[in-house]
Amino acid sequence: MNDNRPQHGSSASPDAASWFVQLERRPHDAELRQAFETWLAASPEHRDDWSRVGDAWTRMDAVKDDPAVLAARAAVQSELANARRAPPLRWAAGIAAAVMLGGGLLAFGAWRQAGDAPAPVQVASAPAALAVYSTPVGGQRTVTLKDGSQVTLSTDTEVHLTSWDRQRALTVVKGEAFFEVAKNPEQPFVVTAAGRTVTALGTAFDVRVQPNQWSVSLIEGKVRVASAQTSVDMTPGHHLSQRGDSAWSVEQRNVADLTSWRDGSLVFENQPLAAIVHEMNRYSTQQMRIADPALAATPLSGRFKTGDVAGFVATLEAYGMARSSQTSSATINLFPIAPG
């Protein structure tokens, strides 16, 4: 079983993102500028990180005066100014169109590779595990199993290989993994997640395990998801999920969007800002927080780079949708923009 692709980290470091937001908000603060220059000169890595953030903002600047962007921003500001009650969805499509301008320049932000060498496969201490594969926050890793099947791990994920005899068996302990299964009718491929099993012969599917919820998205082929009480045969394009002890929910979804994290992006369609921030936070050690309920409920559509907190915050500020405040290098608070 070979781990043959490098891991990837998030885009800019929290320090670079922090300086970016503060300098944009306080451009005439001489003391802040002096502190920034000191930080910048302290390390070549700091200069590289800052260059990436600067390049991202330059690309944003190229489209910020586009009529579609200006129109979307005006619509956002108008809606947010009209009382903070349940914001309507009608401007979300306009923002989505503007977000996609120039091949997604609003979802800008180059990312930085954490290293050229793949992380070593660890041997689990538990006797039931033959091998353990994992990624850090913001990381991504693809493992090729000895039959040619591939497992791609998303951010902060842990997968155990538990058997390779009568069946190919793995367990998703936490996080999210995408499985591309080599066909072998004599040796079923079984993935266990949150106590449920996903069985396939030759197919591609995504499994996600979070505290108090889990899901399976089927891209191609056929799988059977089973627990001690029930089972469901899934067909391509469907998403099965369960939160807590609620009943299983199966719905048709755009599974390409659900698995876009493999290409380093996250796609949202009319999702509350709170849900988007929660998902973006999974890919970064720098965390965004929203205190205002109306802002948290505001819907947004678009495609954003995983780990690109600086770019995402700059997008919100460029549209006049939110303002930010840095409380520490690890936390950015988002607030509504006051009318007027």
The answer to whether residue 116 is domain-embedded is no
The answer to whether residue 122 is domain-embedded is no
Domain end (from 258, 278, 295): 258
CATH of the domain at 274: 3.55.50.30
pLDDT at 87: 44
Please tell me whether residues 46 and 79 are part of one structural domain: yes
The answer to whether residue 184 is domain-embedded is yes
Average pLDDT of 116-122?
38
Q: Check if the beta carbon of residue 129 is closer than 8 Å to that of residue 160.
A: yes
pLDDT at 8: 38
Domain end (from 240, 258, 276): 258
Tokens of 199: 């069985």
pLDDT at 240: 96
Residues in a beta bridge with 95: none
Cα separation, 189 vs 182, whole angstroms: 9
pLDDT at 118: 39
Please tell me whether residues 144 and 250 are part of one structural domain: yes
pLDDT tens, position by position, 181-214? 999 988 999 999 999 999 997 799 999 999 999 9
Please tell me whether residues 136 and 204 are part of one structural domain: yes
Residues in a beta bridge with 240: 216, 250
Q: Can you state the percent helix, strand and coil of the chain, rounding each to 5?
A: 30, 30, 35
Please tell me whether residues 149 and 221 are part of one structural domain: yes
Residue ranges of E strands in the chain = 2-3, 131-134, 141-144, 150-153, 158-164, 168-180, 189-193, 196-200, 204-210, 213-220, 223-226, 231-234, 238-243, 249-252, 265-272, 287-290, 299-305, 323-328, 331-335
Domain end (from 217, 241, 258): 258
Please tell me whether residues 150 and 212 are part of one structural domain: yes
Identify the domain containing residue 233 by its residue range.
131-258
CATH of the domain at 234: 2.60.120.1440
The answer to whether residue 117 is domain-embedded is no
Please tell me whether residues 230 and 182 are part of one structural domain: yes
Cα separation, 317 vs 340, whole angstroms: 16
**Helix residue ranges, H only, 140-260:** 255-258
How far from chain centre, in Å, is Cα 335? 22
Please tell me whether residues 246 and 275 are part of one structural domain: no
Please tell me whether residues 12 and 68 are part of one structural domain: yes
pLDDT at 181: 96
pLDDT tier at 114, thresholds 50, 70, 90: very low
pLDDT at 42: 76
Q: Which amino acid is at 310?
A: A
Q: Check if the beta carbon of residue 271 is closer than 8 Å to that of residue 87.
A: no
The answer to whether residue 120 is domain-embedded is no
Please tell me whether residues 271 and 249 are part of one structural domain: no
Please tell me whether residues 18 and 80 are part of one structural domain: yes
pTM more than 0.85: no
Please tell me whether residues 273 and 242 are part of one structural domain: no
Number of domains making up the chain: 2
Selection from 42-51, 83-92, 142-151 with the highest mean pLDDT: 142-151
CA dihedral 54, 156, 332, 50 (to 10 degrees): -20
The answer to whether residue 168 is domain-embedded is yes
pLDDT tier at 338, thresholds 50, 70, 90: confident
**Angle at which helices 14-25 and 30-41 pack, to 10 degrees?**
160
Give the list of residues 6+ apart from residue 233 with CB closer than 8 angstroms, or none.
222, 223, 224
Please tell me whether residues 245 and 138 are part of one structural domain: yes
The answer to whether residue 216 is domain-embedded is yes
Percentage above 70 pLDDT, the chain: 68
The answer to whether residue 119 is domain-embedded is no
pLDDT tens, position by position, 56-75? 555 555 555 555 555 655 65
Average pLDDT of 175-182?
97
